[in-house]
Structure 1
Amino acid sequence: MSPTISIDDRGFTLGDGVFDTALALGGEVFARARHVARLVAAAQRIGIAIEAAAIEAALDAALTPAPTILRTTLTRGTAARGLWPASAGAPTLVVSATPWSPALLGQPARLVTANGRRNEFSPTANLKTLGYLDHILAAREAALAGVDDALILNTQGRIACTTIANLFALIGGRLITPSLKEGCLPGIMRALVIEAAPALGLSVEERPLAPQALAGADAVFLTNSVRFVRPVRSLDGALLGDGAALVNMLQDNLLRHAKLDR
């Protein structure tokens, strides 16, 4: 039976909540502690009280032996009308599971630059909130352009992220990725790539990155928790550096990590 959500739930009426997406392999959530900690921290940032143990229990209840994508949604629950409620009920916590296929790994991506901008000054810029309309509209632009994803710039015209991923570029022998101040999310795979890079002979810089810099990059790739590492083949129709060897090396490293994490 599917869980019943009240029509007065603030996640439904106001997008008042946060979410997380994780991959489960062999009945275990990959990088589980990181996902739970990030969701708890995001909830605290917007004033929702939730214990890690509650999220752990909800994940356990959703796990199956099959490879699955787990979407954890947390809302403020129901409350009286008004933007900031004088009091609220218990938070709503739901974990849904959908099948995952390894065919999602390594699929090349073509990007288009979205017209909308990500507000890096917003208090929610680094949170996976339920208010995802800006990214939905960017994804619509990508679909209308016949490509796979949209590159989202911040208010300064620098790279923030794509609709569903963090971005890295290999430039001058260094891996460059936008810092969190640029408005991107603190991706779990982003963090794992940054941590793995030195052992693979790569140095990493978290700094502002102009979209024009991608044209001269040796490789451009995306990271997220469902696709791991995804090479970018083109931006706005212009071909980008292949970087297949780098992408494969990082992908293999993360897959080994996934097996050890179980």
Structure 2
Amino acid sequence: MAELNGEPISVDQLKTLALTGYGHFTSMRVEEGRVRGLSLHLDRLVRDCKALFDAELDPERVRELARRVASTAGTCVVRVTVFDPNFDMGHPAAKADPEVLVTMRPATNLPLSPMRVQTRTYVRDLPTVKSVGLFGQLLHRRAAQLDGFGDALFVDEQSLISEGGTWNIGFFDGDRVIWPEADILVGVTMQLLKAAHEYDERPVRLADIAGMEAVFATNSAIGVRVVSGVDDIALTDDHPIIDTLRKAYMEVPADPL
């Protein structure tokens, strides 16, 4: 199901999004009509709309539009995409009139199986914005999967770890949960876990992974997913910290959409 500003969307209205890839979005896991971290999702949309379009976005209007599309029973993933159907690639500085596209897809059952990831040298153009421009992330995800891995994990030229293609990464060194200090998109699930469980934030290099007792990926669609290997480094897939973090996440109160 897909609606633009509360109405069925046409092919013509989608052309600009498809041809320019300029816009931003957030994806929310909706369970029985409720969302963990709803205010964080809405804050992200408002902030990114200002950054990309220099325009104000009404979060309550977005909430209303998302509620129209979301299933009220069961679990689904609702994506809210903000773009301007009249965006002119030749004149991107023109005054924008962004609109709200809401789509829905079935959600996968949690928890997901462990995944192995391959490190790829890549830094997104604007890491703090959840942009619809996913070319780089998908290019590296494809390359990793062709090499037999589940996904790509990004590092910079100095081997500092940042994030996955569409997820954040976290570590457990035996004492503390560690989130990498890097230029990343701070995910909603990551923020909720930071509030629910004590942690450190510091630079993490590729060479540090072998000394970690557990590694995990997070986003709103997957919750907390075990990373069982990075490149040729095998990691445990059953450390107790994973269940601790999953329990902490599941106990976060969900707000009605």
TM-score computed with the length of structure 2 as normaliser: 0.88
Cross-structure match for 2:64: 57
Q: Which has the higher contact order (CA 8 A, sep 6+)?
A: 2
SS at match of 1:77: coil
Cross-structure match for 1:185: 185
Give the conservation status (yes or no) of the 8 Å contact 2:215–2:235: yes
Cross-structure match for 1:13: 19
Q: For the residues of structure 2 that align with 1:194 and 1:155, how far apart are their CA atoms?
A: 27
SS at match of 1:231: strand
Moved more, 163-172 or 218-227: 163-172
Q: Are residues 1:118 and 2:123 paired? A: yes
Q: Are residues 1:240 and 2:244 paired? A: no
The runs of 4+ residues in structure 1 deviating greater than 6 Å are none
Q: For the residues of structure 2 that align with 1:196 and 1:106, how far apart are their CA atoms?
A: 21
SS at match of 1:164: coil
Cross-structure match for 2:4: none
Shift of the alpha carbon at 1:86? 2.7
Amino acid in the other structure paired with 2:175: G
Q: For the residues of structure 2 that align with 1:8 and 1:22, how far apart are their CA atoms?
A: 21
What are the superposed Cα offsets for residues 89-108 of structure 1, whole Å, 9 maximum, x if unpaired?
Answer: x3121111111132x42421
Q: For the residues of structure 1 that align with 2:146 and 2:118, how far apart are their CA atoms?
A: 10
Amino acid in the other structure paired with 2:251: R
What are the superposed Cα offsets for residues 142-173 of structure 1, whole Å, 9 maximum, x if unpaired?
Answer: 22022211111124321010112111111251
Total equivalences in the alignment: 248
The 1:58–1:155 alpha-carbon spacing in structure 2 relative to 1, beyond 3 Å, is farther
Cross-structure match for 1:205: 200
Shift of the alpha carbon at 1:205? 1.7
The 1:76–1:156 alpha-carbon spacing in structure 2 relative to 1, beyond 3 Å, is farther
User: Which ranges in structure 2 are unaligned for 5 or more consecutive residues?
Assistant: 2-7
What are the superposed Cα offsets for residues 83-125 of structure 1, whole Å, 9 maximum, x if unpaired?
Answer: 424333x3121111111132x42421111112x4115xx4x21
Q: Percent identity?
A: 25
User: Which ranges in structure 1 are unaligned for 5 or more consecutive residues?
Assistant: 199-203
What are the superposed Cα offsets for residues 187-228 of structure 1, whole Å, 9 maximum, x if unpaired?
Answer: 011111111113xxxxx1222110111111011111110111
The 1:126–1:87 alpha-carbon spacing in structure 2 relative to 1, beyond 3 Å, is closer
Q: Are residues 1:76 and 2:84 paired? A: yes
Cross-structure match for 1:217: 212
Q: For the residues of structure 1 that align with 2:28 and 2:102, how far apart are their CA atoms?
A: 10
Give the conservation status (yes or no) of the 8 Å contact 2:32–2:74: yes
Give the CA RMSD over aligned residues: 2.1
